Each structure stands twice: as structure tokens, then as C-alpha cells.
């Protein structure tokens, strides 16, 4: 009887721990060469129904905005800042302000100028925060590597 009870407790704890892990956003990456000297890095977020991530242009005092940091390299330079499509903008009670965000899917784009033919991948890190109508998850940092085809 004690073994059965212990087994049930272990099962409930492990099931509870598994249920706590939420990852409503999946990231994927691609690169598109424009010519021999330029490329565009595509960073795509696929977001589960009911969740959203925030724009890069959220004002101070609000949620953590989505941001990108590209690894410095002598083989390429960034051209401008990452671009994004037009976000949804609504008042969120949790932050007591209008915030801009994306639902379902969003593709951020970063243009780069290639200084060398040796570039095989672009590396970096992104940070984002995701919320639904009940809660927000802590900000998440994701390392990425985008292969650069020829």
C-alpha cells in the first residue's frame, strides 16, 4: 500500500512539473541572398492560439519588447534595424497602456551586407516576452544560428 501511495505521489509531482512547462512560441530561421553582397535574415515566430509576443517598439513601462542581438563579425554588417510587419495595438490592463503585439505568426527581417564570401552562418540572440489574457511568462532568451546559403 505504501508503495502504491508513493508511486501515485511521484506520478502527480512529475505530471504537475510537466504541465508547468509552457512554450507557446516556436522560432524558425532562414536567410535569403539578394545578391553576392547582400542577404536578408528571416526570424519567424509561430505563436499558439491565445498568446502573443510584443513588438520591438514597446514604450518603457510596458512588457519586454522583442529584441535581436547579432554576433559581431568582420565578415558582415547590419543594414539598419530589424523590420517587422504592422502589429496589433491595444490597451492592456496589466500594463495600463497601449501595447503593440503579434498573434499567430510574425516574421522579423534583418538586412545584412556581406564583406566576405567566408560567411556561412549568422549567429545571435533574441529576447521576447509572451502573454495571453490571463498571464505573462517570464522573458525568454533564445540563441540562434541562421545558415547562409550560396
CB 125 within 8 A of CB 69: yes
- Give pTM, 2 decimals: 0.83
pLDDT tens, residue by residue, 31-58: 999 998 999 999 999 999 999 999 999 9
The CATH architecture that domain 24-147 belongs to is: Sandwich (2.60)
Cα–Cα distance measured from residue 84 to residue 124, given in angstroms and rounded to the nearest whole number = 17
Q: Name which of 12-16, 83-87, 93-97, 118-122 the model is least confident about.
A: 12-16
User: Taking residues 70-90, what's their average pLDDT?
Assistant: 95
State the greatest distance between any 2 C-alpha atoms of the chain, in Å, as a whole number: 71
pLDDT value, residue 12: 44
H-state helical runs in the chain: 2-20
Interatomic CA distance for residues 23 and 130, integer angstroms: 9
Instruction: With beta carbons less than 8 A apart as the criterion, state whether 109 and 42 touch.
Output: yes
Amino acid at each position: 500500500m505504501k508503495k502504491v501511495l508513493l508511486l501515485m505521489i511521484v506520478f502527480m509531482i512529475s505530471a504537475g512539473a510537466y504541465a508547468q512547462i509552457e512554450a507557446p512560441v516556436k522560432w524558425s530561421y532562414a536567410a535569403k541572398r539578394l545578391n553576392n553582397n547582400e542577404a536578408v535574415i528571416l526570424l519567424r515566430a509561430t505563436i499558439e492560439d491565445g498568446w502573443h509576443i510584443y513588438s520591438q517598439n514597446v514604450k518603457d513601462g510596458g512588457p519586454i519588447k522583442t529584441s535581436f542581438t547579432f554576433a559581431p563579425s568582420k565578415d558582415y554588417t547590419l543594414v539598419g534595424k530589424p523590420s517587422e510587419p504592422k502589429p496589433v495595438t491595444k490597451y492592456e490592463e496589466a500594463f495600463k497602456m497601449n501595447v503593440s503585439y503579434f498573434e499567430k505568426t510574425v516574421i522579423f527581417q534583418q538586412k545584412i551586407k556581406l564583406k566576405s564570401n567566408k560567411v556561412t552562418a549568422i549567429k545571435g540572440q533574441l529576447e521576447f516576452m509572451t502573454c495571453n489574457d490571463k498571464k505573462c511568462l517570464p522573458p525568454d532568451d533564445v540563441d540562434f544560428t541562421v545558415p547562409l546559403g550560396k
